[in-house]
Amino acid sequence: MDGGIDNRPVPAHEAEAPQLPDYLVKTYTWAYLKPASLRLLDNTLVVTAILWGNLNRLIRVNCAELSAGQRVLQAANVYGRYSADLARTLGPEGRLEVIDIAPLQVDHCRRKLRGFPQAKVRLADAAAPGGGVYDTVCCFFLLHEIPDDHKHRVVDALLAAVPPGGKVIFTDYHRAAGWHPLRWPMNLVFRILEPFAFGLIEREIADFASDSAAFVWRKSTYFGGLYQKVVAERPRLVPARAARAAE
């Protein structure tokens, strides 16, 4: 199987497994669907280099949004130490559920998180994550890798997975400032390797939500605007409304 697309039959308990989407197979086989890619790319140093030294900072600002003991959904596997850092932040009383649409990534992430009993990994599409509601959902560098119609579906599904008081954290590329020396080199990288990234950096993430007004949106940018963290928080019900909702 080494060197080919991983298309092993899914285990029986995952018989309802989603199909690998065309965009993933056509655009990202080299990165996510070959065992050799895992060996080469799943390395914190490599991810740090891909993110121009910003991995630690982006993980730190992501983890700062979480609290120990929370139930958190990670919307897709991420190479390097990201999931382990989330699991550590949630602690033994917390719960981390990582989903991914590719069986190879699910198996691999399960192996990586073996030392964290609070973490569970399962096969699912971020557009239909299942699993009920979560205190927080983390979507780390997924949106720039999926076509715009999928961006809509994924954003809506992840927002639907948080109750009042819950939040979704989107960390991803953003359009770098005009003066940024990496603006044009990154545009070239996007053109060659990440064609769906333009659909992300040309719009606000909130624009992909069908009901963005139901959330409070907060955006921070990093490294001259090349990266963004957007937090969508579903407001808590005010007491009168909560009482009506409970009737």
Ligand X SMILES: C[S@@+](CC[C@H](N)C(=O)[O-])C[C@H]1O[C@@H](n2cnc3c(N)ncnc32)[C@H](O)[C@@H]1O
Residues lying near ligand X in the complex (CB under 6 A) are found at 24, 32, 47, 76-79, 99-102, 105, 125-127, 140-142, 145-146
127 or 155: CB nearest ligand X: 127
> Considering the complex, what minimum distance in angstroms separates the CB of residue 242 from ligand X?
33
The DSSP letter of residue 142 is: -
| Residue 40 CA, distance from chain mean position | 21
The answer for residues whose C-beta is within 8 angstroms of residue 131's C-beta and 6 or more apart is 73, 97, 99, 122, 124, 161
HSE-CB for 185 with a 13 A CA cutoff: 7
Contact assessment for residue 97 and residue 131, using Cβ atoms and an 8 Å cutoff: yes
Number of Cβ within 10 Å of residue 91's Cβ equals 13
> Considering the complex, what minimum distance in angstroms separates the CB of residue 239 from ligand X?
37
> Considering the complex, what minimum distance in angstroms separates the CB of residue 125 from ligand X?
5
> Considering the complex, what minimum distance in angstroms separates the CB of residue 170 from ligand X?
11
Q: What is the dihedral of CA 101, 104, 110, 112, to 10 degrees?
A: -120
The answer for residues whose C-beta is within 8 angstroms of residue 109's C-beta and 6 or more apart is 77, 83, 98, 100, 121
> Considering the complex, what minimum distance in angstroms separates the CB of residue 139 from ligand X?
8
Q: Which tokens sit at 21?
A: 């989407």
> Considering the complex, what minimum distance in angstroms separates the CB of residue 129 from ligand X?
8
Residue 206 and residue 165: Cα distance in Å, rounded? 18
59 or 99: CB nearest ligand X: 99
Contact assessment for residue 35 and residue 104, using Cβ atoms and an 8 Å cutoff: yes
Q: Which tokens sit at 176?
A: 């770098």
